[in-house]
Structure 1
Amino acid sequence: MPHTKRPAFIRHYRDIQNDDTARLRGTDEPRSIGSPFSPALGLTRLGIHHELLPPGRRTSFPHAESAEEEFVYVIEGTPDVWIDGELFRLAPGDGVGFPAGTGIAHSFLNNTDQPVRLLVVGEANKPENRIVYPVNPELRALRTDWWEDAPARPLGPHDGKARPPE
């Protein structure tokens, strides 16, 4: 039986993948390569992304958010999740949740020599959301939504930067 043409709300991540030009704000550091599903599928309440994380890259500066929850699922590879200055190795099938308002700072780093693929699901941008970068306070100057009263959390020794094996 022949297949009917797919509706516009069915998409493959490669068809909506951004080019490899995204940089961490205010730097020349390349970040993950995103496929933003939500706008492509007409979703307005959820932020859903496929993230391809090449070796030696990270998804973001370590950050915490005041009003938006986030969930990250490892599809492929073995990334490290940076949580409050400590690294935790993940494997395919692992999921990590970040409740809003906790101040738990996080980022995903590819410290391996293989690509990592992540599914990132969060709430769509909320105007009341605030963000803090505890190891990059210089970013305050670039933000109008800085989270001034974020819960203070002790930070471990890791600086939040990816380091692939040599």
Structure 2
Amino acid sequence: MPRLRLDDWQPHPAVANRLTGQDDGPHATLALGDQAGLVQFGVHLERLPPGSRSSHRHWHETEDEFVLVLSGELVLVEDVETVLRAGDAAAWAAGAPLAHCLENRAAGDATFLVVGARAAAGTVHYPDHGLVMRHDETGRRFFRADGSPVDHAAAPSATDGTKPPARR
């Protein structure tokens, strides 16, 4: 396998999510797992400028997730907040209902590595917004916490502030 390219960052503009109205701010990603042709787990580098969040707070029913801060400073937002600096790591076991995201409240950019499963199907909970997303080979479907479906025409896409699940 040749050396992976670390200069092909994909920018993502700040856009409010159509379902929640939340704008996580701009960010950039580098899909290292895709470059390498990995099929069992995904690896992403992410860069968050000041004021941006990694995602809506969420947790996965069937996927483990791991992050390693490479540069800068981030705030891990769970039920409590924890400052993470370069060299710090955090992880969440599949099924543990601990919603999380990372926020850059510092003056400079922060970069971090994300590793997670590439599950063909899964469920992601967004408790701050009362939403649940289920994904499989047919696509993504959103539901309210009570189980009622959300209109798919209003469902967010990968270009409007959410990141595709199971690709990390």
Q: Does 1:121 align with 2:108?
A: no
Q: Which residue of 2 aligns with 1:18?
A: 10
**TM-score (structure 1 length as normaliser):** 0.73
> Moved runs in structure 1, 4+ residues, more than 2 A?
19-32, 139-143, 145-149
TM-superposition CA deviations, 1:63-115 (whole Å, max 9, x none): 0100000000000011000112x211011110101000011100000011111
| Corresponding residue of 2:71 | 76
Is this contact kept in 2: 1:53–1:117, CA < 8 A? yes
Identity of aligned residues (%): 28
CA distance in 2 between partners of 1:134 and 1:92 (Å): 28
**1: distance between equivalents of 2:33 and 2:16?**
21
Between Structure 1 and Structure 2, how many residues are aligned? 138
User: 2:55 aligns to what?
Assistant: 60
TM-score when scaled to structure 2?
0.72
Q: Which runs of 5+ in 1 are unaligned?
A: 1-6, 150-166
| Long gaps (5+) in structure 2 | 135-139, 147-168
Aligned pair partner of 1:96 in 77, 83, 90: 90
Once residues 124 and 116 of structure 2 are traced to their aligned partners in structure 1, the CA distance between those partners, rounded to angstroms, is: 14
- Alignment correspondent of 2:38: 43
Are residues 117 and 22 of structure 1, via their aligned partners in 2, closer, same or farther at CA, if it must alter by over 3 Å? same
CA RMSD, 1 decimal:
2.5
Letter of the structure 1 residue corresponding to residue 141 of structure 2 = T
Larger strand percent: 2
Report the Cα distance in structure 2 between the residues aligned to 1:66 and 1:141, rounded to whole angstroms: 11
